[in-house]
Amino acid sequence: GEDTIPVEITVDKKDRAPSLDINYDDVTVNEGEEFTVRVTASDPDNDPLELRVTNLPTGAEFQDGAFVWNPNYDTVMNSSAGWFESIITSTAYTNKKFSKQESVVWLEFIGSDGELEVVHPVKITIKNVNRAPEIVRFSPVDKPLVKIGEPVLLEVDAIDRDGDELTYEWNFGLGESKLGGTTKVERIFVSPGLKKVTLTISDGEQEVEHTFSIRVSNERVAVTEPISEAVDPYEYRVYIVDHNGVGQWVDPFESRTYVIQH
């Protein structure tokens, strides 16, 4: 005869690794541009999963499967740019596409079921963004009213948040020489009317402008003899202005400009 003997067999469950689904493996952004990487985890055994990320940058957040970051303007080290770099960085799109000034950050997203884990790397390329110079103060603020021959001090304070060296160019109008290399000039007008002087400040890539407006009345101020004279009499000539006495009049066909500070 045959005997039947029951046998108990135990089948151990084999844990299977989770998987990650990420919308971007390779991201390129400009400084100051917020972006999001979304991570979805799944487990074939329906085990509860833990999601985490390594190398989390300063200012970034990772919560509920969403990595959010807005790289600040100090993320990429700023360097001098030539004329070609200035052209390709003139728009956000071309800067992101072609700029060579960049920094790379690698992230690792990890999904774990407590026994097995899966790692998914993501490459983040951040492109440097040049910030234009900023004028923080200028004087005079309003449209001052001055007399013919009365000096007007024009000055400006500017900063560059990228630490770029700034250049200054003063434009006094049609037919007059431009002046550079100074943040402060004194101007003498020799005819009445509304006068405009434009200052352009550049960091080599971007510029900012400010136009001073000065009202010149028909009244005149007497001046004494000149105390110094530069080579170009149409651009630089220094006069002592005598506001109360009688002195030599400024030539009505010439404007006088001289540098106060370099």
Shared-domain flag, residues 117 and 151: no
In a domain, 8, yes or no: no
Q: What is the CATH number of the domain that holds 147?
A: 2.60.40.10
Write down the pLDDT at residue 256: 54
Shared-domain flag, residues 32 and 50: yes
One-letter amino acid at 219 equals: E
In a domain, 6, yes or no: no
One-letter amino acid at 40 equals: T
Cα 148 to Cα 256: distance, rounded to the nearest angstrom:
11
Q: Coil, strand, or helix at residue 84? A: helix
Q: Which of 70, 105, 127 is the last residue of a domain?
A: 127
Write down the pLDDT at residue 222: 67
Shared-domain flag, residues 139 and 257: yes
Shared-domain flag, residues 173 and 248: yes
In a domain, 145, yes or no: yes
In a domain, 13, yes or no: no
Q: Coil, strand, or helix at residue 86? A: helix
Shared-domain flag, residues 158 and 109: no
Q: Which of 127, 156, 174 is the last residue of a domain?
A: 127
* 130-184 pLDDT per residue, tens: 999 999 999 999 899 999 999 999 999 999 999 999 999 999 988 888 999 999 9
Write down the pLDDT at residue 3: 67
Q: Please list, residue by residue across 3-25, b when 16 or more beta carbons sit within 10 angstroms of its beta carbon and e when fewer do.
A: eeeeeeeeeeeeeeebebebeee
Write down the pLDDT at residue 231: 40
Shared-domain flag, residues 122 and 209: no
Shared-domain flag, residues 255 and 138: yes
State pTM to two decimals. 0.69
Shared-domain flag, residues 170 and 64: no
Write down the pLDDT at residue 244: 33
Q: Coil, strand, or helix at residue 85? A: helix
In a domain, 2, yes or no: no
Average confidence (pLDDT) per 10 residues, the chain, 262 residues: 68 77 95 96 90 94 96 87 74 89 96 92 96 96 92 95 94 88 92 95 93 95 54 38 36 48 38
In terms of residue numbers, what domain contains 35? Answer: 19-127
In a domain, 14, yes or no: no
Q: Coil, strand, or helix at residue 181? A: coil
Shared-domain flag, residues 255 and 167: yes
Cα 248 to Cα 240: distance, rounded to the nearest angstrom:
10
Residues 57 and 69: beta-carbon distance below 8 Å: yes
Listed in order, strand segments (DSSP E) in the chain are 19-22, 26-30, 35-42, 50-54, 61-63, 66-69, 102-112, 117-127, 134-139, 145-148, 151-159, 167-171, 179-180, 184-188, 193-202, 207-220, 228-229, 237-238, 256-261
Shared-domain flag, residues 115 and 73: yes
Q: Which residues neighbour 206 within 8 Å (Cβ) at sequence distance 6 or greater? A: 130, 131, 132, 133
**Beta partners for residue 30, in sequence order:** 127
Q: Which of 95, 112, 127 is the last residue of a domain?
A: 127
Shared-domain flag, residues 164 and 244: yes
In a domain, 12, yes or no: no
Query: Domain count of the chain?
Result: 2
Shared-domain flag, residues 94 and 34: yes
Residue 183: name the closest of 227, 137, 146, 151 by CA: 137
Residues 131 and 204: beta-carbon distance below 8 Å: no
In a domain, 74, yes or no: yes
Residues 179 and 255: beta-carbon distance below 8 Å: no
